[in-house]
């Protein structure tokens, strides 16, 4: 079994921590009701005003240190921001990546890169929203990715393809993972991958092409094609060949943040289902009086509370600098399942009206399903727990 930090060294806050942030996010979200999101989805449009409001209020720079113009808040505060956005019926998918992608630049970027980019990202002048990792042929097997970056004097030349790169058409910068040393020339498959900060504005039409993907949800996903795209060598983050480690470094934070969105979704579904189950009268009584309606909602609520506790534990270990990957992965699993079970209960509670767009249940149901696929699929989380937490044989 894995080593855990002694319980008396790490504390978790219960209840509504960061109440001022929660209140402020709720107020902002009240201006972006379901009709706003439905209209965007119909037009496959980006929530520019919503993202602008969050940027101006400083929330997307929550994790950027104060010396670079951000709020310098702990990860838990960012979790609270994302949870409340989702609990309010909104969706942070259009802008959440900035919170965790920025960490790679912050931890591994040079002083010059940080001084150049972070204040501009904090102010909203530059959007760092695109994260190019997944490829069509290699999928979850990241170290087999085929995009190549070859050094040529003061720049790298990139050839290859990414898929499902969210928000690439709504971002100024992309964090790109590419292979700089061919797989057959490295001693470990995790070596020879490098991370670059790509200036999308400069590269579009010069070896970079981006095509939107029509998808189940309005997530602004794209296919990205590199055909001789030049990236200045100055835009390499950290050391060449160490990029996989840098990306892994950020995964705990990313999983904690997306799990907070799942908790927020779950709370929205439970609240929405409870309200409807109390109001909807069939056979002369509220449908919530039927245990077949009440119990799935109650079960989803209990699952949400349990997932939230484990997520807070994961976050507290992270904040204390303790090993936290087991808790992070288990929290990701439980939070994504709690939100899915809550979504199912909510949809079922609404009967046919669950299919009516104006209730927003079917939209949130589609949106929360993603959490079991991206950024990491449930099977991969389970195989982590089986192998690294329980010591079972490695499966791949």
Ligand X SMILES: Cc1cc2nc3c(=O)[nH]c(=O)nc-3n(C[C@H](O)[C@H](O)[C@H](O)COP(=O)(O)OP(=O)(O)OC[C@H]3O[C@@H](n4cnc5c(N)ncnc54)[C@H](O)[C@@H]3O)c2cc1C
- Judged by beta carbon, residue 12 or residue 217, the one nearer ligand X is 217
Are β-strands 148-152 and 208-212 bridged in parallel, bridged antiparallel, or unpaired? unpaired
Q: Which two tokens stand for residue 280?
A: 């909807």
Of 41-49, 162-170, 293-301, 337-345, which part binds ligand X (CB under 6 A)? Answer: 162-170
Of 29-37, 126-134, 152-160, 237-245, which part binds ligand X (CB under 6 A)? Answer: 126-134
Among 166, 203, 304, 329, interactor with ligand X by CB under 6 A: 166
Helical H segments across the chain, by residue range: 19-30, 34-43, 48-56, 75-87, 97-108, 111-123, 200-203, 243-249, 251-279, 291-319, 325-349, 361-369, 378-384
Residue 178 CB, nearest distance to ligand X (Å)? 12
In angstroms, the CA 204 to CA 283 distance is 60
Residue 144 CB, nearest distance to ligand X (Å)? 10
Among 2, 16, 31, 140, interactor with ligand X by CB under 6 A: 140
* 329 touches ligand X by CB under 6 A: no
Are the beta carbons of 261 and 88 closer than 8 angstroms? no
Are the beta carbons of 202 and 230 closer than 8 angstroms? no
Total residues belonging to the chain? 396
Contacts (CB under 6 A) with ligand X, residues 343-382: 370, 373-377, 379-380
Among 133, 195, 237, 317, interactor with ligand X by CB under 6 A: 133
Q: Which two tokens stand for residue 342?
A: 């809550």
Are the beta carbons of 97 and 374 closer than 8 angstroms? no
* 143 touches ligand X by CB under 6 A: no
Contacts (CB under 6 A) with ligand X, residues 216-275: 219, 221
* 215 touches ligand X by CB under 6 A: yes
Q: Which positions touch ligand X (CB under 6 A)?
A: 131-134, 139-140, 164-166, 215, 219, 221, 370, 373-377, 379-380, 383, 395-396
């Amino acid at each position: 079994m894995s080593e855990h930090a002694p319980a008396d060294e790490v504390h978790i806050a219960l209840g509504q921590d960061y109440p001022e942030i929660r209140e402020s996010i709720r107020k902002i979200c009240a201006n972006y009701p379901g009709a706003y999101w439905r209209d965007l989805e119909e037009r496959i449009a980006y929530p520019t005003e919503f993202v602008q409001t969050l940027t101006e209020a400083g929330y997307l720079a929550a994790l950027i240190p104060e010396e670079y113009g951000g709020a310098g808040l702990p990860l838990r505060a960012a979790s609270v921001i994302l949870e409340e956005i989702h609990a309010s019926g909104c969706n942070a998918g259009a802008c959440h990546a900035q919170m965790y992608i920025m960490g790679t630049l912050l931890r591994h970027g040079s002083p010059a890169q940080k001084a150049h980019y972070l204040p501009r990202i904090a102010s909203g002048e530059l959007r760092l929203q695109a994260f190019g990792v997944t490829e069509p042929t290699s999928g979850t097997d990241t170290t087999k990715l085929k995009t190549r970056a070859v050094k040529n004097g003061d720049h790298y030349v990139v050839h290859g393809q990414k898929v499902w790169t969210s928000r690439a058409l709504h971002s100024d910068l992309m964090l790109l993972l590419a292979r700089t040393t061919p797989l057959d020339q490295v001693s470990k498959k995790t070596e020879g991958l490098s991370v670059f900060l790509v200036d999308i504005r400069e590269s579009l039409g010069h070896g970079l092409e981006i095509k939107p993907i029509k998808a189940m949800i309005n997530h602004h996903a794209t296919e990205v094609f590199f055909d001789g795209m030049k990236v200045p060598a100055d835009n390499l983050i950290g050391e060449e060949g160490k990029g996989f480690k840098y990306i892994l470094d950020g995964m705990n934070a990313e999983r904690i943040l997306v799990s907070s969105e799942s908790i927020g979704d779950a709370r929205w579904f439970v609240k929405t289902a409870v309200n409807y189950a109390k109001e909807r009268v069939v056979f002369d009584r509220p449908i919530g009086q039927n245990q077949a309606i009440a119990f799935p909602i109650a079960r989803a609520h209990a699952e949400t509370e349990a997932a939230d506790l484990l997520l807070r534990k994961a976050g507290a270990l992270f904040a204390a600098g303790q090993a936290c990957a087991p808790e992070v992965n288990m929290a990701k699993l439980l939070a994504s399942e709690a939100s899915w079970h809550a979504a199912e209960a909510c949809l079922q509670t609404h009967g046919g009206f669950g299919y009516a767009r104006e209730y927003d249940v079917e939209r949130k149901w589609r949106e929360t399903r993603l959490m079991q696929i991206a950024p990491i699929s449930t099977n991969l989380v389970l195989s982590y727990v089986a192998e690294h937490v329980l010591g079972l044989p490695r499966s791949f």
